[in-house]
Amino acid sequence: MSSQVRGGTRWKRFALVMVPSVVATAAVGVGLAQGALAASFSVSGQSFKVSTDKLDGQDFVQYGSVAVGKDLEGKDASHAVAVSGFSSATITNMCQSVVTPKVPFIGKSVSLELRAGTNPKRPVEATNLYLDVSQLDADADFENIDIGVAAGSLKKKDRPNGIGIQPGTKANENGFAQRADRAVLTKVEQTAWATTAGTFKLSDLKLRLHTGVKECF
């Protein structure tokens, strides 16, 4: 059974919806800053942290899934995640950090810190955005939310410009899912395993490497 709430719904520290991460390499990060490019981002064997002041996303969908990849030793690894999708989104003051432990020849951890969209008038922009997240804290507002639909129903794309289950995603079509016309997340802190997008444009990109552990939160 599904339940619908019309208008705006606000859930403090909603722990399933998520904001996107950005790629954890300098070369791809610079390329994305120069224009809107197709993008698929993940950090092999590692989760990464992302914080943002605000994400404003259209045509929101969400369902449970499993992220499959390799750990740092090259062994198969799987992680339970909540996948959220948006047909388009803008993101203000975004920070991503990933820590690589015991880097060869250095003997210490090295942290990559990436920031973008720091000017509210020039936010990060993304289309066809999918996010694999294991943990998130945020304030959230939803418009026209439909809670408790079957994940398989998301394939129908029954709203203009709507998106469904990401192709190739492992998902139980009879499992819990939800959708909304719009989702606005503020004061976001998330841990993610992967992000994919049709296009991803990073404005005011700044990338720094730090010796030791330095994370967004």
pLDDT tens-digit map of 54-71:
999 999 999 998 877 766
Report which of residues 134 and 164 the model is more confident about: 134
Residue owning tokens 């993304």: 126
**89 or 71, which is more confident?**
89
Least confident segment among 5-9, 24-28, 82-86, 109-113: 24-28
Looking at residue 17, what is its pLDDT?
47
Q: For residue 133, what pLDDT band results from cuts at 50, 70 and 90?
A: very high
Within 13 Å, how many C-alpha atoms sit on residue 144's CB side? 7
pLDDT category of residue 8 using cuts at 50, 70 and 90: low
User: Is the model's pLDDT at 82 over the cut of 60?
Assistant: yes
For residue range 156-208, list pLDDT tens digits in order: 555 556 788 887 777 888 888 999 999 999 999 999 998 888 898 999 999 99
Q: How far is CA 70 from CA 42, 76, 99, 127, 132, in A?
A: 11, 5, 16, 27, 15
For the ranges 34-48, 57-71, 92-106, 116-130, the one whose mean pLDDT is highest: 116-130
Tokens of residue 43, six digits:
């950090």
pLDDT per residue as tens digits for the range 16-69: 444 444 333 433 444 445 454 456 666 656 889 999 999 999 999 999 988 777
**Which region among 77-81, 193-197, 213-217 has the lowest average model confidence (pLDDT)?**
77-81
User: What's the pLDDT band for 216 if we cut at 50, 70, 90?
Assistant: very high
pLDDT at 22: 39
pLDDT at 26: 39
Q: Give the per-residue SS3 of 18-57.
A: CCCCCCCCHHHHHHHHCCCEEEEEECCCCCEEEEEEEEEE
Q: In the 3-class helix/strand/coil scheme, how is the chain assigned residue by residue?
A: CCEEEEEEEEEECCCCCCCCCCCCCHHHHHHHHCCCEEEEEECCCCCEEEEEEEEEEEEEEEEEEEEEEECCCCCEEEEEEEEEEEEEEEEEEEEEEEEECCCCCCCCCEEEEEEECCCCCCCEEEEEEEEEEEEEEEEEEEEEEEEEEEHHHHHHCCCCCCCCCCCCCCCCCCCEEEEEEEEEEEEEEEEEEEEEEEEEECCCCEEEEEECCCCCC
Residues 6+ apart with CB under 8 A from 87: 58, 59, 127, 128, 161, 162, 163
pLDDT of residue 166: 83
pTM for the whole structure = 0.80
Please give the pLDDT value at position 72.
67
Within 10 Å of residue 116's Cβ, how many Cβ atoms? 27
Residue 45 exposed, middle or buried by CB count within 10 Å (0-12, 13-18, 19+): middle
